[in-house]
Amino acid sequence: MSALVFLGSLIGAIGIGVPIAFALMVCAIALMVMLGGVNAQILAQKLVDGADSYPLMAVPFFLLAGELMNAGGLSRRIVNAAMSLFGHLRGGLGYVVIGTGLLLASMSGSAIADTATLAVMLLPLMREGGYNVARSCGLMAATGIIAPIIPPSVGFILLGVTANLSITKLFMAGIVPGLLMAVGLVVAWWFVSRTGESARHERRSAREVWIALRGALWAFVMPVIIIGGLKFGIFTPTEAGIIAATYALLISLFVYRELTPEALYQCVLSAAKTSAVIMFLVAASMVSAWLIAVANVPGQVVSLLQPFAGSQTLLMLAIVVAVLAIGTVLDFTPAILILVPVLMPVVKSAGIDPVYFGVVFVMTTAIGMITPPVGVVLNAVCGVAKIPIEQAARGLLPFLIAELVILLLLVFMPSLVTVPGAFLAARF
């Protein structure tokens, strides 16, 4: 009964246009009514407690780091370095998109920010080179969602706080799956570019390649500092966000000297607005998560998934299919905050590694960011390209299939996540 109340109130509130954060509060109130009455004092207390989390401090700083990278010239130099290495290949700009996206993912952890950067910088070049625009948009969107998988990941921070998991372990476990996603996109692009994409840029000389790589050196150092600092215990994942933002600010101001006071103000303002939305969502989700536990919603979900309980693989496959379906209409952050408190007890009761589940769950919800009708990342690319989302969705198809294949590979071969994740975590 409580599961029906939870789902009914949530879907009903969203259906009439209530913002997600307030819809979560509606869920909490509905569950309170079902349990015997509304206590406004408890609601307020849990709302404050939900936002009072030290690990969540990393979110605004990583978002700010991404904004500063774009405004301060770091992102542009990464694109130029990738162009010097891969631009001359057949369909070379596609490989530039993937390589650049992988590097950006290792610095910001924000799918929308990375995808927007790729679209603004590379889409005009791909248009001029005769590349299929819809396919180019699809590739950029599919590349952008690597950001929540490769550390530092805002998604892993949110999931770690929600499920009380080690954020460092999630970071380490996400490295190999993120690289596999990139490999899958490279293979998919190679197949589609054999016939359709023939434009090539002139091969750069060794001196030009060296100049491009040297120009991006300060940008390449950023992920090394973050991962190295975590490895040697110099700072925590939360403090890594501060280090990333500070580094991006100093390089933009004093090395590249491209960050103006006006641009700095806009960077801080944009990061603050996005952070405020995320923090309010987290606070509201913590209220509903507490009441979900009190109302024993996870126990009812366990009963529903009982037919799959005998096999960890079948259970994970059922969860992935359900989350993929939900992800088509529910955005990335709300999906984590709403579904993780419900599913984590089910996963633990089945003996599934929570960190492995976290990586697969984040990858699944990230794929939801490029699937219509919501598809916020795909919509972001369409906004830059000025094409309908239906057209971009057709271009996305081969890359979506590639990422779904990688996702299924992780479901049927958990060791691809658990073994390298445990190895890296033991040394970090």
Residue 122 lies in a domain: yes
pLDDT at 13: 81
Q: Which is higher by pLDDT, 381 or 306?
A: 381
Give the pLDDT confidence of 383-419 residue by residue, as tens digits.
878 888 888 889 999 999 999 999 999 999 999 998 8
| CA–CA dist 243, 232 (Å, integer) | 15
What average pLDDT does range 34-38 have in this prediction? 75
pLDDT in tens, 237-250: 778 888 888 998 99
Tally of domains within the chain: 1
Q: Is residue 117 part of a domain?
A: yes
- Position 305 in a domain: yes
Query: Which of the pair, 181 or 111, is modelled with greater confidence?
Result: 181
CA distance 313 to 311: 5
pLDDT surpasses 90 at 181: yes
Residue 27 belongs to a domain: no
Domain membership of residue 26 (yes or no) is: no
Question: Residue 273's domain spans which residues?
Answer: 55-280+297-427
pLDDT score of 37: 72
Measured in whole angstroms, the distance separating CA 3 from the mean position of its chain's CA atoms is 28
Residues contacting residue 86 through CB under 8 Å, at least 6 positions apart: 92, 93, 95, 96, 99
Residue 1 pLDDT greater than 70, yes or no: no
pLDDT (tens digit, 9 = 90+) per residue, 267-302?
999 888 888 887 887 788 777 777 777 777 666 666
Please give the Cα distance from 187 to 401 (Å, whole number).
11
The answer to whether residue 309 is domain-embedded is yes
What is the value of pTM for the model shown?
A: 0.80
* 96-126 pLDDT tens trace: 889 888 888 887 777 877 787 788 778 887 8
Per-residue pLDDT tens for 322-378? 888 877 767 788 888 888 888 888 888 888 999 999 999 999 999 988 987 667 788
Place of tokens 């913590």: 286
Q: How far apart are CA 26 and CA 287, in angstroms?
A: 10
Residue 23 placed within a domain: no
Q: Which of 47 and 144 is assigned the larger pLDDT?
A: 144
Is residue 47 assigned to a domain?
no
